[in-house]
Structure 1
Amino acid sequence: MSHQTFMQLSGVGLNKGPAAILSDISFVLQPGELVMLVGPNGAGKSTLLSILAGLSPPSSGSLTIQGSAVDDWPREQWARHITLVPQLSQMGFPLTVREVVELGGLAHSQSVVALRDATQKAIRDWDIEYLAEQEVRLLSGGEQQRTQLARSWIQVHQPDSGLWLLDEPLSALDLKHQRQCLQRVQQLKQEGKAVVMVVHDLNLALRYADRVLMLCCGELIADGDAATVLTAERVSDVFQVETVLNESGLNWL
């Protein structure tokens, strides 16, 4: 990855009927950057990820990737550059874990042998080898989440992939696998890829994020390093919970 801006949003908005879901969102993403997206329920976080993934065209404003407008990118090329793990991934077919993980390599040209090897490595990396031949729909929430993370891991590790979008990836994971996921995120950063991650744990953002974007009521109200964005005063105001900041992080009163 080069050090040029990977993606830029300028005045992006999204309407559903007369309602504005997002309004005037502007920021840039750089390669090798971990951006954590925070805000109360209904703030527009998942909707913003959907726009970044190219799934929801904005109603206003512009979005460019590596200097080119969205409309200039063929869909298959966009799919190779950006990988999304949504909050919920409901399977409509009785696929095994191995089959789901293998789907992550289909957007890229690979031999059968290369795809098989990449699938096995992702299954091993995400600690789901013992589940490989089980049907995904029969697994626990955390096991399904790790399966989807493994699927996306194949895709985001391709040479022409540059952005990993994660919508609350830790919500169903136990402590061991939360730590594993964060280690994988750090690994991607070191490889020069950008990561945008929705989190509800603000102390996690304080510890790990290079930048924090805070949304409220569909508007981007703060963008900067975690210590600047996540002040006790702002968190108290936005989340409507009295908050203090001390050595242990943000704490609710």
Structure 2
Amino acid sequence: MSIVAERSHDTKEIYDSIAEQYVEFKKAPYRTAVEQYTFFDLMLLKNERERGKNARILDLACGDGHYTRKLRDLFPDASYLCGLDISSSMIDIAKQREIEHPKNIDYICADGKDLPPSETPYDIITAIYYLNYAQTHEDLRAMIKGVYDQLKPGGSFYSMNENVRSPMDGFNNSMHKKYTFYREYSGDSLRAGQPIKYTYYWDVNTPSKCVFFNYYMPPSTYEDLFKECGFSSFEWVPVQCNPKIDNVSFFDDLVRLPHVIGIIAKK
């Protein structure tokens, strides 16, 4: 059976239904060793250590606020920090965490591409898995234009995204199960809008019910749309593993065939 027909592809519906399990899988070791190291150390702190002190920051597709809270820890003096997500279940979890452990973060349930241009634009916009939910060229353009409209002139966008530059053996590869996920697509080749199915695993033999979809768009489509929407620069950032951890070699396969890639764009 085609993976396209297996379950709903409505992003809000999916994340409302898997919110609690998805939060648990945020604790997977690769998140800290590879994903967070690349995003925070090699991308954000490398470029925004000074500006972040008084910045207005928007975190798109914030989910339960996992990375939004880390942004506050990194930039405690940021003047304003807001997390936004389309899933009400995820935002409910984020708001509850804010009540339990206040960090002066606002959370909003909304679709990022539907936001009006901001009267008080942001210095920095972040997004850990956001653009890869675009199922069409038009969706991706609307998302990128939405980011552009929320940024100040000279502002920056930082994202971790489905690795659309992945070699074909980066898909349907059971090797990824040791990192808690399996990434697959059906058909003979990748095409624009192709669903990429993710199933999280409790261990290499035990799939969870945490299943969702990203969508493929050619790298050139991303590059062209960022330019078309007005961004002055665009850069792909390959992931790396934190060299200071004890078990670096465990993540060699993930760095060799990564499912995720960084994006930096300047307005």
TM-score range (shorter-chain normalised) is 0.3 to 0.5
Return the TM-score normalized by structure 1.
0.34
- Highest relative contact order (Cα 8 Å, sep 6+), 1 or 2? 1
- Tell me which structure has the larger Cα radius of gyration: 1
